């Protein structure tokens, strides 16, 4: 039944604007023009038809009704809900045709918030028949090559999904949770209805438990059957749906947090703000006057209902919009006892609880798997027919399979519990406004608490460092047990959010949960203070654990094909069942016998033993991998290992050795370089600014009398033969902390005019910035600034006249030989400001270039044979590194990733600057050896030279992270062509590594990623198969972990994967073949 529904004109107008804006086919600025355009849409649309089952509304043409809901084609839906619009005056670009509807490449201009549409020619369009193909062809989004415009398909897809699933909710009934994040979900409000619940209960009884089983498999059906749609504000049940391609549903009950335990002062004055920050989500979440908070818990994260915004908001962390000045002001002196109590009740405990799942729960969950339920049905049917032998065989196979699965799940649960158990039992010191310093268990910490930190402390939460500096071991996050220096959050004026300090720059002020504070140093002997940023599963460690508990689903073609084939078998079985019913009814058999024989056909056509048979190969492969020291937390990915056709490798620590040896330094003298000073002969470096830079521009620390830190820094410092001490009362330096690190010449060093150098302040190394800077003071002398980092980056901060004219050519000479090269620079600091108040931008300018530090990094012995084996098996190998491009090319040559006969093409892409648009150019590496860097005449536009018919593998593209970013944003249509032959990707940030792996996956590659855990964690999780060579906690989220610290594990993994895959194929074909033979034979016998 359908009934006509009318809307107020303003509401209809807003609905039309919302749909059209999400499609983004023309600009929608607010104003008269937009109103006229919206009226034009409304004249061609009406909202008619109410879907009875869920009371959702669907758009349709005027005067038409849909008596029964049927999903329309995407093209029809778009035609019914859009009107034509003249294209803007923009240069043509390629577009798409979907079901007859033209899609142009268009996007939001992020800088101005304006949307525009590009024109295109029909002959220059892709023709696709479905949204999935459209999304696949475009890579999920597109950008015009002449501008900075980008627009993802997500919003269009959301509208289409909601419409096609019958979830076109009214305003307030639907929202997005974690918008823009990896775990983004749609949330729908429902209210339980008593009559529906009673009917479902009756259905459960009369169906003998089949209906609850269906509801267990399909939580969305359970909600639709028991509840009616309502606004999220009134909902007592919410339905969640992921926005990825899997569209997974989950059901959650809305809970209430009662604040009746608050002290009498709050109960008597409920109108007053509950916490000092009036704009906090906590204040907006408390419903007055009954002092209650509505919340839901999704994947271990708590969300509270924001009464002001009208949506669920994540709780358990400080708000992102807070500026650094507000953080210092609001939380610099701690929280009151009352505020701590309120936050504790609403945010929940600071624990990462991973319960050890009871065996009976695991058993029930496994038994209720649809395949095992079908097996149970089949076995019962066979016993009723006295067909016992095969039934017993199936029972034994199923018991073994279930037992092994439950055992593995239990073992993983125990390991994960042990991993996080110690986290919940830490004693910390906090400072409160009205309580002073007090000790308490870490489970009682709340966002906003002020921590007092000491040495050798495990961080129980994420915290922002406010005062002092810390040296921490972030091996849990990065996989490298290398000390990292953390600096306090500067007190920057203004309202700019504290996280917007460049890409990932805010992390140098954050102490992450699970990391160890090795050393805490306060300024002028004061305490080291940090404000709690996030607690529980919101923390970095909590996010790591959640990625294990709720892994990102991966779509495997093998499993999709298997499901399709099973559906074909079900269809065949249905035909046979109808045939059997007809034959036996005509033969005059009893109804019971007719039903038995008909059901028997289903068990013949769809073999119940298939799931157990398919897991056999995986089980044995996992055992063999374990014997080789390769551990797996996701057994279903073993089959995928056999399908790998591209493997990405990190360079440092994976292809090459971890250790570096100092080969020499090349000092800078005026406009040129002097002779290389070699350390191989044992000669010490003469005193000068270059020697001073090597002695103090590092992040080394002195712990228990031993110098610890980054291996590169350690080798550099050891080459100077200086020693490190901690300053005491003998050092009275202006602005220096009492415990400053001091380096001084040892007894063997001669002709050094300074007694020592004290490190006053440090701007730590960042893989994003590719540099580090220190402020030092010579004893009794000047304050100096030293910088160390990627030569190109360091040179960009130097006075141009101090950088030698042969800088590029000399750098290329050593990088092409495989050396790792570091640039050094310095200047005298002539500022009256206190050192702690100086910003990085103030210090890092007008430097004097000192020279180049040259280090040798050798290949591991196993690297070349393994890469040759992979290449001979026609498996592509790709290098993704944060090192210099020329160094990466040399390593690729030496390792055999790029053969001597193959050409390497350097790709350089430049961002839009001023009036010039983004550009991309290329040059053969062999030519570049003979042509100066400044020569641009031989650069040829890549758009004209890359041919679709180019032989894959005859040449290799090499580019850096900056070029990759520019190409992704401005030349997205060229990106697939570049990636088809791209082999070397250098100067890649951790985020760019993950993006590159994802782009390869869009080209239908089965991607493997092998790394040592340092900055590779994101890429390891993104790849189809991630292999970590580190045993640190960060590698836990990787599907595979190897105890052997080299890439020999990769061929073993692929071989075992192929063996398991072949076994699965053979078992599948065998089971399907014998079931079809038996099926045909039985049907013939039924007729006879």
Contacts 24+ apart (CB under 8 A), 366-369: 366/402, 366/405, 366/406, 366/409, 367/402, 368/213, 368/216, 369/611
What are the Cα distances from residue 466, in Å, to 490, 523, 527, 904?
A: 8, 11, 10, 48
* C-alpha distance across the termini of the chain, in Å: 48
Which residues have CB under 8 Å from 716's CB, separation 6+? 662, 694, 698, 822, 853, 855
- Angle in degrees, 0-180, between the axes of helices 557-586 and 1049-1087, rounded to the nearest 10: 10
H-type alpha helices, 3-139? 9-23, 32-42, 74-81, 131-138
Which residues have CB under 8 Å from 451's CB, separation 6+? 428, 429, 430, 431, 445, 463, 529, 530, 531, 532
Cα–Cα distance between 740 and 758 in angstroms, integer?
Answer: 6
The tokens describing 1023, both together, are: 């790849």
Return the residue matching tokens 């909202």: 47
Provide the 3-class DSSP secondary structure of residue 685.
Answer: coil
Give the dihedral of Cα atoms 354, 358, 363, 365; nearest 10 deg.
-40
Cα–Cα distance between 412 and 1039 in angstroms, integer?
Answer: 12
Residue 741: phi and psi, rounded to 5, are -80, 130
> C-alpha angle 881/885/888, rounded to 5°?
60
Q: Mind giving me the DSSP string for 921-966? A: EEEEHHHHTTS-TT--TT-EEHHHH--TTPPTTSEEEEEEHHHHHH
Cα–Cα distance between 571 and 889 in angstroms, integer?
Answer: 55
Cα–Cα distance between 153 and 96 in angstroms, integer?
Answer: 13
The tokens describing 546, both together, are: 């959640």
Q: Mind giving me the DSSP string for 168-225? A: -PPTTSEEEESTTSTT-EEEEEEEE-HHHHHHHHHHHHHTTTHHHHHHHH-HHHHHHH
Cα–Cα distance between 514 and 534 in angstroms, integer?
Answer: 12
Provide the 3-class DSSP secondary structure of residue 1029.
Answer: coil
Provide the 3-class DSSP secondary structure of residue 1034.
Answer: helix
Q: Which residues form the catalytic set? A: 650
* Contact in structure between 90 and 117 (CB atoms under 8 Å): yes
What are the Cα distances from residue 648, in Å, to 165, 224, 325, 734, 893?
A: 38, 45, 43, 50, 16
3-state secondary structure string across 345-410: HHHCCCCCCCCCCCHHHHHHHHHCCHHHHHHHHHHHHHHHCCCHHHHHHHHHHHHHHHHHHHHHHH
Q: Which of 149, 115, 153, 113 is nearest to 133 (CA)?
A: 153
Cα–Cα distance between 510 and 533 in angstroms, integer?
Answer: 8
Residue 340: phi and psi, rounded to 5, are -60, -40
Cα–Cα distance between 5 and 554 in angstroms, integer?
Answer: 41
What are the Cα distances from residue 195, in Å, to 191, 205, 227?
A: 12, 16, 9
Which residues have CB under 8 Å from 958's CB, separation 6+? 885, 888, 889, 892, 904, 905, 906, 907, 925, 982, 983, 984, 985, 986
Q: Which of 875, 766, 114 is nearest to 486 (CA)?
A: 766
The tokens describing 33, both together, are: 């023009």
């Amino acid at each position: 039944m359908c009934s006509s529904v009318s809307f107020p004109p303003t509401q209809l107008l807003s609905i039309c604007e919302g749909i059209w804006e999400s499609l983004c086919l023309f600009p929608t600025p607010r104003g008269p023009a937009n109103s006229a355009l919206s009226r034009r849409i409304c004249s061609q649309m009406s909202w008619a038809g109410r879907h009875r089952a869920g009371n959702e509304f669907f758009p349709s043409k005027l005067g038409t009704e849909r008596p029964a809901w049927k999903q329309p084609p995407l093209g029809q839906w778009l035609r019914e809900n859009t009107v034509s619009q003249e294209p803007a005056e923009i240069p043509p670009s390629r577009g798409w045709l979907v079901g007859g509807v033209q899609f142009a490449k268009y996007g939001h201009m992020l800088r101005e918030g304006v949307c525009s549409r590009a024109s295109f020619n029909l002959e220059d369009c892709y023709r696709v028949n479905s949204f999935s193909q459209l999304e696949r062809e475009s890579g999920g989004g597109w950008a015009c090559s002449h501008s900075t415009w980008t627009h993802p398909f997500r919003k269009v897809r959301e509208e289409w999904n909601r419409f096609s699933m019958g979830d076109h909710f009214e305003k307030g009934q639907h929202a997005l949770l974690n918008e823009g994040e990896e775990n983004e979900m749609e949330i729908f409000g429902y209210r339980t209805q008593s009559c529906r619940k009673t009917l479902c209960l009756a259905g459960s009884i009369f169906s003998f438990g089949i209906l609850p089983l269906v509801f267990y498999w399909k939580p969305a059906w359970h909600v639709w059957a028991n509840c009616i749609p309502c606004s999220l504000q009134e909902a007592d049940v919410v339905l969640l749906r992921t926005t990825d391609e899997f569209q997974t549903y989950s059901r959650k009950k809305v809970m209430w947090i009662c604040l009746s335990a608050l002290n009498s002062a709050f109960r008597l004055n409920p109108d007053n703000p509950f916490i000092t920050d009036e704009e906090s989500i906590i204040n907006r979440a408390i419903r007055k006057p009954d002092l209650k908070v509505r919340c839901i818990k999704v994947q271990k994260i708590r969300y509270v209902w924001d009464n002001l915004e009208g949506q669920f908001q994540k709780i358990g962390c400080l708000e992102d919009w807070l500026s650094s000045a507000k953080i210092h002001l609001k939380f610099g002196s701690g929280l009151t006892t009352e505020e701590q109590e309120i936050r504790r009740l609403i945010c929940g405990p600071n624990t990462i609880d991973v319960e050890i799942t009871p065996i009976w729960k695991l058993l029930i969950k496994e038994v209720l798997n649809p395949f095992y339920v079908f097996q149970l049905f089949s076995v019962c049917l066979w016993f009723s027919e006295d067909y016992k032998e095969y039934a017993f065989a199936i029972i034994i196979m199923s018991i073994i399979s279930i037992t092994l699965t439950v055992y593995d799940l239990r073992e993983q649960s125990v390991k994960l519990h042990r991993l996080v158990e110690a986290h919940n039992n830490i004693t910390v010191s906090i400072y409160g406004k009205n309580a002073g310093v007090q000790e308490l268990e870490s489970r009682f910490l709340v966002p906003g608490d002020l921590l007092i930190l000491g040495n050798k402390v495990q961080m129980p939460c994420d915290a922002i460092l406010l005062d002092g500096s810390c040296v921490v071991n972030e091996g849990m996050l990065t996989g490298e047990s290398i000390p990292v220096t953390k600096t306090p959050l500067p007190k920057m004026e203004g309202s700019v959010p504290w996280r917007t300090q460049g890409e990932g720059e805010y992390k140098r002020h954050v102490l992450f949960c699970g990391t160890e504070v090795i050393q805490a140093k306060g300024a002028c002997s004061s305490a080291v203070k940090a404000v709690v940023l996030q607690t529980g599963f919101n923390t970095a460690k909590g996010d790591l654990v959640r990625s294990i508990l709720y892994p990102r689903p991966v779509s495997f073609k093998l499993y999709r094909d298997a499901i399709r084939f099973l559906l074909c078998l079900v269809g065949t079985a249905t035909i046979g069942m109808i045939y059997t019913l007809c034959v036996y009814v005509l033969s005059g058999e009893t109804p019971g016998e007719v039903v038995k024989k008909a059901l028997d056909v289903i068990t013949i056509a769809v073999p119940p033993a298939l799931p157990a048979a398919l897991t056999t190969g995986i089980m044995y492969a996992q055992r063999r991998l374990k014997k080789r020291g390769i551990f797996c937390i996701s057994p279903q990915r073993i089959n995928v290992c056999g399908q790998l056709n591209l493997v990405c490798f990190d360079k440092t620590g994976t292809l090459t050795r971890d250790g570096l040896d100092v080969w020499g330094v090349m000092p800078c003298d005026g406009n040129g370089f002097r002779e290389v000073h070699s350390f191989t002969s044992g000669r010490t470096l003469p005193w000068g600014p270059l020697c001073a830079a090597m002695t103090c521009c590092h992040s080394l620390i002195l712990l228990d009398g031993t110098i610890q830190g980054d291996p590169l820094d350690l080798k550099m410092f050891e080459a100077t033969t200086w020693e490190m001490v901690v300053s005491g009362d003998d050092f009275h330096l202006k602005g220096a902390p009492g415990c400053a690190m001091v380096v001084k010449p040892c007894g063997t060093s001669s002709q050094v005019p300074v007694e020592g150098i004290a490190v006053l302040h440090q701007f730590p190394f960042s893989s994003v910035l590719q540099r580090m800077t220190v402020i030092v003071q010579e004893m009794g002398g000047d304050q100096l600034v030293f910088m160390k980092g990627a030569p190109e980056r360091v040179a960009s901060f130097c006075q141009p006249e101090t950088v030698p004219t042969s800088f590029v050519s000399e750098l290329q000479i050593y990088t092409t030989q495989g050396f790792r090269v570091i640039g050094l620079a310095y200047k005298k600091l002539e500022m009256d400001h206190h050192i702690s108040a100086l910003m990085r931008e103030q210090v890092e300018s007008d430097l004097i270039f000192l020279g180049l530090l040259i280090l040798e990094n050798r290949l591991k012995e196993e690297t070349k044979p393994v890469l040759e084996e992979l290449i001979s098996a026609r498996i592509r190998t790709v290098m993704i590194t944060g090192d210099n491009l020329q160094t990466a090319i040399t390593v690729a040559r030496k390792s055999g990733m790029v053969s001597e006969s193959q050409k390497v093409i350097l790709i350089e892409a430049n961002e839009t600057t001023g009036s010039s648009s983004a550009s991309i150019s290329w040059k053969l590496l062999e030519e570049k050896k003979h042509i100066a860097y400044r020569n641009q005449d031989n650069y040829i536009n890549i758009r004209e030279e890359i041919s679709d018919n180019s032989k894959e593998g005859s040449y290799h593209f090499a580019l850096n992270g900056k070029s990759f970013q520019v190409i992704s944003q401005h030349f997205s249509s060229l990106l697939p062509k570049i990636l088809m032959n791209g082999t070397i990707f250098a100067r890649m940030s951790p985020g760019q590594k993950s993006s590159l792996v994802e782009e390869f996956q869009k080209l239908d590659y089965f991607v493997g990623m092998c790394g040592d855990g340092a900055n590779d964690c994101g890429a390891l999780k993104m790849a189809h198969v991630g292999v970590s060579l580190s045993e640190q906690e960060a590698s836990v989220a990787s599907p595979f972990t190897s105890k052997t610290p080299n890439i020999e594990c990769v061929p073993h993994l692929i071989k075992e994967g192929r063996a398991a895959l072949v076994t699965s194929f053979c078992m599948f074909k065998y089971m399907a073949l014998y079931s079809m033979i038996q099926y045909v034979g039985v049907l013939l016998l039924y007729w006879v």
